[in-house]
Structure 1
């Protein structure tokens, strides 16, 4: 079997995988023994959740995270020479999207290895779909700066760019700083700027709400330690 690199979506926190993943994905995972993952413990848990009969002892797990060096990445690329299917697993959602797996995908293309993306949940796109904001023109900005001064500048720029280009701005925060980010948005943004908060997407307590800043300032919320996506639109 020729090498193929499968990009395997994982769950966003909900263990009811049938709600998020097509059956085809399970058949692909069943056929793979070599996995490149961001975190071995969570990757094994995911595989056990969707395929409890798959033998964990037979899995070959390789790590690829933000600290993986260029030399280590080169060693990982040698897996392509074994003519076996390889799966990439992210911590949550889609591999290679806001995820270090993109580095190995690039090497796969350089070595003419077929890259196969599988269907699955993306917190970024699910949040955008549900926000009611402009899905024709948008950009993802990852994490905003932690420093207060730099964060204020970043938020002001996002707002100004959204207004200038009539585009939607998507970003995120470490879950334990979600409440602080929303407070900063309320303090810094214009009253009519719209903000969507999408938290715990695909889970039973999923929360998705879009309001202008002037309404968020009146609302009592708590997103502490809940994975969330923030979306901003200013016209």
Structure 2
């Protein structure tokens, strides 16, 4: 039966190895892919050992602007008996990624779904944070408006304290510094706040401290335009 392979991509440069050898071998003959952005995907596929020249691959786009009514069309290769791959821009597809809807549809239509092992910034941040790894939730993006963002942070903190649950969240990179500043100024001094920035890159920064310790820092790290996962545990 044709298979939808969920193919992780590096968090850093496209030539960073991220698949196990046997998994890489399983996808080298694929010619059909659903991707978030063609330019980035071609750079990744070039380094995955795909046999077919990159220019001859069938790449279909699935991102936040894709009409969900067209999802069945993206699975046409599977219906024709050809396995295909799903790629995210970085990390694991279908995790904080529009590919989740396609995976659900593939299951509904009876196709095999095969996830491949690869980097997840969410899990790497949780592993490195020292926060509770037994009970956690990824909350996605917080509100962009300052007052709403602070209210959301306090709500996450209350829920974390009540349920002993770690909360992970992200922000558009150019607003990272504002989010960090608001978290430090508004959260309880005993709350743990971890920032995991540029994971797997040479510029990687992971810092996990109580809010009271963050407030004593001489300077906060510059997170602008740097992919960052925030981890909170009250």
Same fold (TM over 0.5): yes
Which residue in the other structure is 1:3 paired with?
2
Q: CA offsets, 1:114-169, max 9 Å, x none?
A: 00000000000011001111000000000001122221111010000000001100
Q: CA offsets, 1:208-231, max 9 Å, x none?
A: 110011111232211111111000
Which residue in the other structure is 1:60 paired with?
58
1:191 maps to which of 189, 192, 205: 189
Partner SS for 2:105: helix
- Listed as ranges, the gaps of 5+ residues in structure 2 are none
How far apart, CA to CA, are the structure 2 residues paired with 1:21 and 1:208? Answer: 24
Partner SS for 1:17: coil
RMSD of Structure 2 on Structure 1 (CA): 1.4
Which residue in the other structure is 2:129 paired with?
131
1:101 maps to which of 99, 102, 106: 99
Which residue in the other structure is 1:110 paired with?
108
Structure 1 moving runs of 4+ over 3 Å: none
Kept in 1: contact 2:28–2:50 (CA 8 A): no
**Alpha-carbon shift at residue 16 of structure 1 (Å):** 4.8
Which residue in the other structure is 2:224 paired with?
224
- Listed as ranges, the gaps of 5+ residues in structure 1 are none
Q: CA offsets, 1:80-118, max 9 Å, x none?
A: 211011100001100000000111101111111000000
Q: CA offsets, 1:148-200, max 9 Å, x none?
A: 22211110100000000011000011111111110010111011111000001
1:203 maps to which of 186, 192, 201: 201
